[in-house]
Amino acid sequence: MKNGFSVSSRKITENSDLHWHNYIEIELITGGEGEQILNGKKYTLTRGTVSLIRLIDYHSVFPKNDLTLINLSFEEYLLSDDILSVLSSSLSEFCFDAGPDSFQTMENIAVLCLDETKKNLPNRKYIKTLLNALFIKLFEYTDINIEPQLNQISKQSPLRRSLEYIRLHFRENPSLTEVSKIAHYNPSHFSVVFHKEMGCPYSKYLNDLKLNYAKELLGYTDLKFGEICFECGFTSYANFLKVFKEKNGMSPSKYKNSINFTT
């Protein structure tokens, strides 16, 4: 992805398998029909549908009647801190029908991004401004449900920025040292402050995010247990099995069977 962003207008004629991204993606459906499975939930895709795919989201797309769209893919550093805060703290998926007028505004912004990327030397500052404007419009038509744990931490707190980073990047298994730098603390001080504010050690908080994500994948996908282990950020399958059983009182296979039984 050159310069941290990519914008394209495309037609999708084939199904895409379940996948993740290591970047943020916005898709505006401009024509045709289709379906999307986003984090295990099914959404209809028609003109006016807007989807936001974060690093923690997983999705697949099933086009009908030549699904056309504008795709914007970009690194998170192009977004403002306020927008990143919403992306990390929202509990909901972002996929909705924007309505004709709102969608037209978003499409116009996306086309401006597309035109700029076609230049030999795209203006990254201009792209960044357009992306932030697009997110502002997107959030106007979305019910934002803020995670209570994040909401109780002041936006000015160095810990807040670390938590936002962890929630977006837990699949990358960030170390305590790496996250402490975001708060501008040394690792030992960060560890003490984190435990005091969050009520648990950093390692447990990180593992809980991974394990909750694993439960989602067990419930909504057909991925093998080993695949789920590494997609969630665990580096050892044996450790994944151990901590999953400690937290949930059963193995991943028994958990999956219990879900299938109840549904």
Residue 87 CB neighbours (<10 A): 21
User: For the residues of 110-156, what is the DSSP string, one character each?
Assistant: HHHHHHHHTSSS--HHHHHHHHHHHHHHHHHTS---B-HHHHTS-TT
Q: What rounded mean pLDDT belongs to the chain?
A: 89
**Mean predicted confidence (pLDDT) in 38-46:** 94
User: Do residues 256 and 218 make contact, with C-beta atoms less than 8 angstroms apart?
Assistant: yes
Q: How confident is the model at residue 263 (pLDDT cuts 50, 70, 90)?
A: very low
Query: Which residues fall within 8 angstroms of residue 178, CB to CB, at 6 or more apart?
Result: none
Quick: pLDDT tens for 146-165.
455 556 566 667 888 898 89
Residue 86 CB neighbours (<10 A): 18
Cα three-residue angle 74-80-83, rounded to 5 degrees: 85
Q: Is the pLDDT of residue 24 over 60?
A: yes
pLDDT over 70 percentage in the chain: 92
In angstroms, rounded to a whole number, what is the distance separating the alpha carbons of residues 247 and 249?
Answer: 6
- Tell me the HSE value of 249 on the side-chain side, using a 13 A CA sphere: 1
- Tell me the HSE value of 12 on the side-chain side, using a 13 A CA sphere: 27
71 alpha carbon, distance to own chain's centre:
16
Full-model pTM: 0.83
Range 8-31 burial, b when 16+ CB lie within 10 A, else e: eeeebeeeeeeeeeeebbbbbbbe
Report the range out of 18-22, 211-215, 219-223, 257-261 with the highest average pLDDT: 211-215
In angstroms, rounded to a whole number, what is the distance separating the alpha carbons of residues 99 and 50?
Answer: 10
In angstroms, rounded to a whole number, what is the distance separating the alpha carbons of residues 35 and 31?
Answer: 13
pLDDT attached to residue 145: 54
Quick: pLDDT tens for 80-128.
888 888 888 777 789 999 989 999 999 999 999 999 999 989 999 999 9
Q: Is the pLDDT of residue 4 over 60?
A: yes
pLDDT attached to residue 140: 81
In angstroms, rounded to a whole number, what is the distance separating the alpha carbons of residues 30 and 46?
Answer: 7
Quick: pLDDT tens for 235-261.
999 999 999 999 999 999 999 998 865
Quick: pLDDT tens for 160-213.
889 889 999 999 999 999 999 999 999 999 999 999 988 999 999 999 999 999
Rg (the chain; Cα; Å): 20
**Mean predicted confidence (pLDDT) in 214-240:** 94
Q: Among all chains, which residue has been given the structure tokens 């067990």?
A: 218
Domains of the chain: 2-140 (2.60.120.280), 148-262 (1.10.10.60)
Higher pLDDT, 1 or 262: 1
In angstroms, rounded to a whole number, what is the distance separating the alpha carbons of residues 13 and 104?
Answer: 24
pLDDT attached to residue 150: 54
Q: How confident is the model at residue 3 (pLDDT cuts 50, 70, 90)?
A: confident
User: Do residues 34 and 45 make contact, with C-beta atoms less than 8 angstroms apart?
Assistant: yes
pLDDT attached to residue 143: 62
Is 234 strand, coil or helix?
coil
In angstroms, rounded to a whole number, what is the distance separating the alpha carbons of residues 31 and 33?
Answer: 7
By the 10 Å C-beta count (0-12 exposed, 13-18 middle, 19+ buried), 260 is classed as exposed
Query: Which residues fall within 8 angstroms of residue 262, CB to CB, at 6 or more apart?
Result: none
